[in-house]
Amino acid sequence: MAADCSFKDLCLDAVDSHVLASFWGRALGRRVESTDDGGYAVRPSADPAENMWVDPVPEARLAKTRVHLDVRLPSADPAPLLEAGATLVSEPEGEQRWWVLADPDGNLFCAMPPAPPEWGAPAVDVPTPFELVVDAADPVAIAAWWAERTGGTAQTRDGAPYSWIQGAAGFPWYAWVFTQVPEPKTVKNRLHWDVSLAPGAQTPKALIDAGATILREPDDEIRWWVLADPEGNEFCAFVSS
């Protein structure tokens, strides 16, 4: 079955978009460019799907971050991220092998040590995103939904409270992970993803027919649709260029 859409990029809301974009530029070793709407783009040197758009918003973060990046470290030390401006929230302990950090806008993210050699994961020279993680009420169902929309493969592990997708169209990282949490979603996500509609599609009808909800249609201010998936996660859908 052809994919309804492909992953496009990430967007972060921020009270101070310059501060947040500058942090992620320093943290990931990427260039930062201003945009016409007062926001910023954090751009990699190659894959455009790794673009991060940082948009100014008036409201401060009101709840726990429900969408976050996992970042692979070049060594077992989060110092590069702390020096860039991150705040330490928790250190590795027990089965938790990673550091939990917060960016300058209070968004949590995880910093992982280098992968064990038997995993075959490439080493990195700078902190590098490798997973996008989304809180979920039913991770198996929502991972299956996004896998069907993007042509990826949803996978689960017996007894694990998470499911993940690999091979999603356009997805630039190792895995797209949905992990179970007890608390419901109550406010807009501070981080969301954008998708490109399948070539030739002029509307997100296929996404809507599959269960997505329209939050806003293109108008005089925006040229894209704002949608929500079946768990209420906001995302933007663009006609393929």
- What confidence score (pLDDT) does residue 75 get? 94
Q: Has residue 12 been placed in a domain?
A: yes
Q: Is 149 helix (H, G, I), strand (E, B) or coil?
A: helix
Place of tokens 């492909």: 6
- What confidence score (pLDDT) does residue 117 get? 81
Asked whether the beta carbons of 168 and 132 are under 8 A apart, the reply is no
pLDDT band at 173 (very low <50, low <70, confident <90, very high): very high
Q: Has residue 213 been placed in a domain?
A: no
Percent of the chain with pLDDT over 90: 86
State how far the Cα of 34 lies from the Cα of 45, in Å rounded to an integer.
16
Q: Has residue 215 been placed in a domain?
A: no
**Domain limits for position 199:** 5-206+222-238
Residue 174's closest CA among 186, 166, 182? 166
Look up residue 159 and give its DSSP letter: T
pLDDT band at 233 (very low <50, low <70, confident <90, very high): very high
pTM: 0.95
Domain of 46, CATH number, reads 3.10.180.10
Q: Has residue 144 been placed in a domain?
A: yes
- What confidence score (pLDDT) does residue 78 get? 97
Q: Has residue 80 been placed in a domain?
A: yes
Kind and range of the H or E run holding 141: helix 139-150
Which pLDDT tens digit goes with each residue over 115-131?
888 887 888 999 999 99
Query: What's the Rg (C-alpha) of the chain?
Result: 17
- What confidence score (pLDDT) does residue 1 get? 62
Question: What is the chain's percent helix, strand, coil content, to nearest 5?
Answer: 15, 35, 45
Kind and range of the H or E run holding 100: strand 99-102
Number of domains in the chain: 1
Average pLDDT, rounded, for the chain: 94
- What confidence score (pLDDT) does residue 30 get? 94
Which pLDDT tens digit goes with each residue over 72-83?
999 999 999 999
Q: Has residue 182 been placed in a domain?
A: yes
- What confidence score (pLDDT) does residue 222 get? 94
Q: Has residue 212 been placed in a domain?
A: no
State how far the Cα of 207 lies from the Cα of 195, in Å rounded to an integer.
11
Q: Has residue 136 been placed in a domain?
A: yes
Which pLDDT tens digit goes with each residue over 135-159?
999 999 999 999 999 999 999 999 9
Asked whether the predicted pLDDT for residue 46 surpasses 80, the reply is no
Asked whether the predicted pLDDT for residue 189 surpasses 90, the reply is yes
Average pLDDT over residues 202-213: 98
Average pLDDT over residues 158-164: 95
